[in-house]
Amino acid sequence: MDNKNSRRNFIQQSALLGAGVMLAGSSQLFAETKNTNKMKKRKLGNLEVSALGAGCMSIMANYGPPADRNQGIKVIREAYEKSVTFFDTAEVYGPYTDEELVGEALAPFRNKVIIATKFGFDIEAGGTLNSQPAHIRKVVEQSLKRLKTDRIDLYYQHRVDPKVPIEDVAGTVKELIKEGKVLHFGLSEASAKTIRKAHTVQPVTAVQTEYSIMTRDVERNNVLKTCEELGIGFVPWGPMGMGYLTGKINAQTKLDPKTDLRSGFDRFSAENLMANMPIVDLLEQFAVKKNATPSQIALAWLMAQKPFIVPIPGTRNMEHLHENLGAINVQLTPADILELNTASSKIIIHGGRMNEMQMQVVDK
């Protein structure tokens, strides 16, 4: 993306990067959180968080006009009341407005939650990659102000900048950690090789990449294996297949190209929406068996893969939030996991996970 891109193009083309999205739920909630199991904890490196986090991007950006601010605050605070302690945002979401919303929503209980945000784009230059040390130092101050806090618990590089050695990026964040402005370092959409290089300079606490039962690149490119070997947590964004795995999207679904980034993704063409229905059918079959919803099966499957995986489904809807959190009550047995993995391995997924331009800035 060059510097001549308009703000509109920037928002439409690059703001999606790196967060989990869940757009649809179910009018009938099965595995709810009321009077059932309490939220569990998991470790990202040595950072303890709730077993399910909250991706906040979709509240203020990328899927239609921003939600009503008060509604967004209510959803975030309800997540906290339901024992979610891990909240994900980025400067690029909005841009800026999502960090502002998260900062306001979490201010009353700032010391009881973990806030993750991201750097790596030069928004003023139209969204080009920029992880120069001076730029990181500039934007961290701006994020701190928007988030109404004196430290960022987990600071991700949003996309690897090929023009800046990852050792320099890790070194800059290491300095910010020494200064107390950042507590933990993360990487988003980074390759196994990059993760290893960064980890030698400053231990990486978490890696964030799209991962779901229909998007399993990290199982094949050594990213998940590298995280396990190095003791790094893994945070899947898009755990619901960007809303597709909820079962509420089909070939007749109309996505507005002006407001919905998915409209430009091959996977969301009418043809591929139809072709990929077998994976949704599989989740729906298990949902009936487990008295749950397809969304909850998708999240439970992710959490069952590794103990250091913390999905971050996102929503602006209170009912969908409760549905997401109900996934902690879905118990998948080893036999269930084997059956899901065996069945899903036979299903061909059609269409790339993002568009060509966005995949160009994914570290290979």
Residue 260's pLDDT is: 82
Question: Does residue 317 sit within a domain?
Answer: yes
DSSP code, position 169: H
Residue 36's pLDDT is: 56
What gap in Å lies between CA 185 and CA 203, rounded to an integer?
Answer: 7
The C-alpha angle with vertex 91 and arms to 90 and 97, in degrees rounded to 5, equals 100
Q: How many Cα atoms occupy the beta-carbon half-sphere of 327 within 13 Å?
A: 29
Tell me which of 24 and 357 has the higher pLDDT: 357
Cβ 235 vs Cβ 206: under 8 Å: yes
Residue 64's pLDDT is: 64
Buried b (16+ CB within 10 A) or exposed e, 299-318: bbbbbbbeebbbbbbbbbbe
**3-state percent helix, strand, coil for the chain, nearest multiple of 5:** 45, 15, 40
Residue 37's pLDDT is: 63
- From the candidates 63, 93, 156, 244, give the one annotated as an active-site residue: 93
Question: Does residue 2 sit within a domain?
Answer: no
Percent share of the chain, pLDDT over 70: 89
Helix (H, G, I), strand (E, B) or coil at 124: helix
β partners of residue 152: 182
What gap in Å lies between CA 45 and CA 233, rounded to an integer?
Answer: 5
pLDDT in tens, 304-316: 999 999 999 999 9
Residue 12's pLDDT is: 44
Question: Does residue 1 sit within a domain?
Answer: no
The residue range of the domain holding 13 is 7-360
pLDDT in tens, 247-300: 989 888 888 888 888 888 889 999 999 999 999 999 999 999 999 999 999 999
pLDDT in tens, 27-83: 344 455 444 568 999 999 999 999 999 999 999 977 667 899 999 999 999 999 999
Residue 65's pLDDT is: 75
What gap in Å lies between CA 325 and CA 203, rounded to an integer?
Answer: 30
DSSP code, position 252: T
Residue reference for tokens 């989990």: 20
Active-site annotation holds for 80: no
What gap in Å lies between CA 63 and CA 46, rounded to an integer?
Answer: 34
Domain of 261, CATH number, reads 3.20.20.100
Give the amino acid at 320. Answer: H
What phi-psi label fits residue 281: left (phi over 0), alpha (psi between -120 and 50 degrees) or beta?
alpha
Across the range 9-38, mean pLDDT stands at 44
Residue 201 C-alpha from the chain's centroid: 25
pLDDT in tens, 215-245: 999 999 999 999 999 999 999 999 999 999 9
pLDDT in tens, 126-177: 999 999 999 999 999 999 999 999 999 999 999 999 999 999 999 999 999 9
Question: Does residue 175 sit within a domain?
Answer: yes
As given in the structure block, the two tokens for residue 78 are: 């309800």
Number of folded domains that form the chain: 1
Question: Does residue 295 sit within a domain?
Answer: yes
Residue 258's pLDDT is: 82
Positive or negative, the Cα torsion across 289, 328, 42, 159? Answer: positive
What gap in Å lies between CA 206 and CA 208, rounded to an integer?
Answer: 7
Instruction: Give me the phi and psi of 214, to 5 degrees please.
Output: -105, -5
Residue 29's pLDDT is: 46
Question: Does residue 122 sit within a domain?
Answer: yes
What is the average pLDDT score of the chain? 90
